[in-house]
Every structure is written in C-alpha cells, then in structure tokens.
Amino acid sequence: MKKKQYTFKGGYRFRRIEGCPRDMLTTQDIPNEVLIPLKQGFGMGVVSLVKEGDIVVAGQIIGRDDSNVSSPVHASVSGVVKEIKLSNYLGHETQIVRISTRKDKADDCKKVKGFTSDWAKLKNEEIESILYLAGVTSLDKSGIPTKFKSSIITPKDVRSIIVPAIGFDVYNLSQELLLGEKRVLDYIEGLRILHAFMPQANIYLALSKTDMQINEKLSEAVSQYGFINIISLEPKYPQGYDEMLVATVLGEKFPFGYYAANLGVIVLNAQTILSVYEAVVKGKPLIERTIAICGPGFNDTPHLKVRIGTPIADILKSYLRTDVSSRIVLENTLVGDKLTDLSLPVTKATSKIIALPENNKREFFSFLRLGVKRDAYSNTFASSVFPFCDKTLDTNIHGELRPCISCNYCEEVCPVQIIPHLLGKYVKNNIIDDSLVRFKIFNCIGCGLCSYVCPSKIPLLELIKEGEKKLAMEGIERSSSILPHFKLKGLKEYKGITTKL
Ligand code: SF4
Ligand code: SF4
C-alpha cells in the first residue's frame, strides 16, 4: 500500500482576510418568485414536467430525465408556473422555470416517498431511490451514484468517499455552524446511510489540523464506526479541490481533467451529508441551501438558509454595501465566475456569494509600497512587522504588468508542480507544440494561485488556458497525455457533464 501524504507541496494559506462569514445563520425571506434552472448541480439538464399556468407545490419534481446522467429538479416554493424559457446561466444554455410564489402556502412541502427514521430496514434500492427523488444525488463535483443514472459510476464502483469537513479556500462556510451541537448526530447518520448502500467504500473525514474543536468533536462521534477514518490536513488552498484531496488523503495520482468518480472516489461536503440524512430520515427534498455571504463588499457576512431559485439580487439588497461598487463572484474568490446578471438565481451548486470592492486605481510602483492591509505571498517587511493586521481583498491587481523577474513564486505555490512561468512564456511566444504537453500543461487544475502571487502581475492561468485551447485546435488533446496512465471508470458517461450551475 502506498504511503499516504497528508499535505502537498505548494499551495497557500490565506490568513486574517476581512469579510469571512460569521457564525450566524439567518433564514432568507421566501422571494416573490423563484427561477429554477432545469440543469443544476452534477449531470445534464432535465426535461420539464410542468407547463406555464400549472400550480406546483414546494418539493414537487418539475424536471426529470432518467435516460441521461442527471437528478430530478424540484419546485422550491408553492405557486404558479409563469414561464419556461431558455436562458444563459454563466455561459450555459438551460431552460429556466419561473414560479410565482403563493405566500399563504409558504410552509407547504411535498415529502419524498418512502422516507423513514428506521432506514436500516430499507433495501439498498429504496435508499437510492429516496436520494434520487430528493435531488440530493446531484450535489458536489461528481454526484452520488445510485441505481438511477445519477452519476457516471454505480454504487458498487465506489471504493472511497472523502468528506472534507473543513474549508480550504479564502472564505469558507463555518463547519462549526453546519455541524453545531445538534447536527453532529444527523451528520454521522448521513454517513451511515451512505455506507449502508456502498458498504465496500471507506469513508475519510478530512479535517483541518488546526481546527481542534471540530477535530475532537468528530473524532469522538465516529470512534465506534470502523469504516470512518479521520485524516488531518493543512488548511491551505487549494486543498479542497478533488484533485488535491485524492492526492493527500489517498496518496494517489489524479487523472487531471477527469472526475474523482472516474477513479471510483466521490467527494461530498458536510452539507451534502446533512441533505442525505434529511432526505432519508425526514423526507425532505433538496429545495434550500445554506450559503455564506463573504467579502468586504458586504456590510454583514452571515450564513443564510435560502430557497433554491432565489434571485441573487434579492439577497444582495439586504447585505451589499452601497458606498462602494463591488464585483460579485460565485464560489471561489480567485477563479470563481463573475456574475454580471444579478437576477440569476441561487442553485444547488451555490454555497458562497462573494463581493469584492471594485478598485481600478492605478498604483505606480505598487511593489515599493508598504501594503500593511494587503495580502501578499512574499514575506514583505509589512507582513513581518504587522502580521496581525487583517488583510482586505479587492479587484485591484495593485500594479502594472511587468516582465517576469524569475522569482519562482508561481512555481513554489503550484500545487501540481508544473512551471507556470515557463508555460506562460511558451504560450505568449506562440510556441504551441508537444513541449507544452511535456511541461504538463494538462495537469493544471486552474486554481489561479500562480496568477495571484505573481509580483509582475502576469496572467499565468489565462495563458495556460489559452495554451490548452490552442493545443486542442492543433489536435493535441488532454486525453492522449492522461488516459494511458489510468484505468478509469465511467468514461463514456462522463462526456458533456458539468457542475457549473
Ligand atoms: S499552473 Fe494551474 S495548478 Fe499551478 S498554480 Fe497555476 S492555476 Fe494552479
Ligand atoms: S511569479 Fe511571476 S515574476 Fe515570478 S517567476 Fe512566476 S511569472 Fe515570473
């Protein structure tokens, strides 16, 4: 057996960043209307089962397609279907169902058939059916396999389940809040439910080395379950990426550009495990999410319990600062999607809304400034003298594009040990050939750290992505450099699937 490594070379730990979500949970008001995309979470889009004018109940399945890799989509409120329209969500064309809410029916919710607190008596197929019908199977990067086509693999193919109960990003959902006193038992029950129909799979709880409270609480709670292993990791970015979790927790190589599921591994976050519990024990379909409000562009940064389909503009109304204009980014501060249409809704895949104040001011000789409140990779005078100052993020790159100074910072932080400055130089000089493949351009996981730390402000990630596209145009595909090294499952089903929405 290969030796497990509990950290990886490279990466970066963000410390003392302003605008982290507070340990407070508020329920967002049910909106006047919701917008439900028929493509949400892992899998393909589904077919509408409703038409304009139909009356729907919260929890009712309004979209489903058992013939493609997908999971059912539900009405998140009770009301009337006003419109079904093809729209663009972050570059993807999808049907969106607009439902106007009946506020007098706000508490109604259709339960999933077959749920029970005595779930241990259920057959595997019955548990799988509840999870599928609840829509929970489309959560996270590769979904949850069931007897339906909810994943690219089957439950029998799963050999490991990794559950990161920790945040490794700039901003993270509070695990303390998600797994508060009462919820730990629900969480453990969610893990046991998964193990019931995937008994061959080892479960790994990936915790932060530094979060002693959660560590102790979970270690004690799972001590009687031999199939649950606790792994302590360094809380640095991008440890939360599936690629890095497979490498650190299992000590295995990742087929870059494919899914962990292709290896027989699924990665599910703490909120998904709680949704598994709620579906099977309480019969609750996936109609709401807990999301974190993050960043210095907000006047408050609580966690919100919000109905899927709530327009993001409704949420911003209450929390966005009015004295600055902010860029709204979803999920990932460094490489998340910039939201230009704020009427778009929260989906199953939304967990963080980040607001970064826009700042276009040019700063000449920025690298000579003290930067006490600025996060910097280099161990500057300011960061060593003022290590306890909170750092604030904005959209300013703080300086002008300059030539590469061969500082190697980009190489130091790269979590997959490729050489971003070298790849960047090749692409910039339009040298698009096999040398890019030899320098492992296809191993880039798109974390954006190289661009973030570069003191010369070179957009390395953009150049790498451009290089990959140009290689594809030359007929040099990722598959030819990755596939010969792996025996992957679910390759046929994997094509065309995204987790974007
Ligand atoms: S080259 Fe890719 S993987 Fe490496 S730091 Fe840059 S974005 Fe991340
Ligand atoms: S971080 Fe920027 S300046 Fe430093 S080696 Fe990389 S590309 Fe060059």
Ligand 1 geometric centre to CA of 284 (Å): 39
Question: Which of 453, 458, 462 has most ligand 2 atoms within 8 Å of its beta carbon, as the pocket-test mutant?
Answer: 458
CB 455 within 8 A of CB 499: no
DSSP character string of 333-401: TTTPEEP--TTPBP-TT--EEEEEE------TTGGGS--TTS--SS--HHHHH-TTSPB---S---S--
- Give this prediction's pTM: 0.92
Which residues sit opposite 337 in a β-bridge? Answer: 330
Q: Does domain 289-357 have CATH number 3.40.50?
A: no
pLDDT at 54: 98
pLDDT at 1: 37
Q: Whose CA is nearest to atom 2 of ligand 1?
A: 444
Residue tagged 């500082």 (tokens): 407
Give me the pLDDT at residue 2, please. Answer: 41
Domains 31-105 and 119-282 share a fold: no
Residue whose CA is at the smallest distance from ligand 1 atom 6:
450
* CATH architecture under which domain 119-282 falls: 3-Layer(aba) Sandwich (3.40)
3-class DSSP assignment, residue 213: helix
- DSSP state string for 85-151: EEEEETTEEEEEEEEEE-GGGTT--PPPTT--TTGGGS-HHHHHHHHHHTTGGG-TTT----SSSSS
Architecture category of domain 31-105 in CATH = Beta Barrel (2.40)
Domain boundaries, the chain: 31-105, 119-282, 289-357, 397-485
Residue with CA closest to ligand 2 atom 2: 454
Report the separation in Å between the CA atom of 455 and the middle of ligand 2, taken as the mean of its atom positions: 7
Strand, helix or coil at 290?
A: strand
Three-point CA angle 343, 348, 354, nearest 5°: 55
Whole-number pLDDT of residue 116? 97
**pLDDT at residue 208, rounded to an integer:** 85
SS3 string, 397-430, reads CCCCCCCCCCCCHHHHHCCCCCCHHHHHHHHHCC
Q: For residue 35, count CB atoms less than 10 angstroms from its CB and return exposed for 0-12, middle for 13-18, buried for 19 or more.
A: buried
In testing the pocket of ligand 1, which one of 334, 418, 441 has its CB within 8 Å of the most ligand atoms?
Answer: 418
Predicted pLDDT of residue 369: 55
* Closest ligand 1 atom number to CA of residue 413: 5
**DSSP letters of 328-347?**
EEES-TTTPEEP--TTPBP-
The pLDDT of residue 247: 95
Task: Count CB atoms within 10 A of the CB of residue 103.
Answer: 11
pLDDT of residue 3: 39
- The list of the chain residues with pLDDT below 70 reads 1-5, 360-374, 376-389, 391, 394-399, 496-501
CA of 447 to the centre of ligand 2 (A): 16
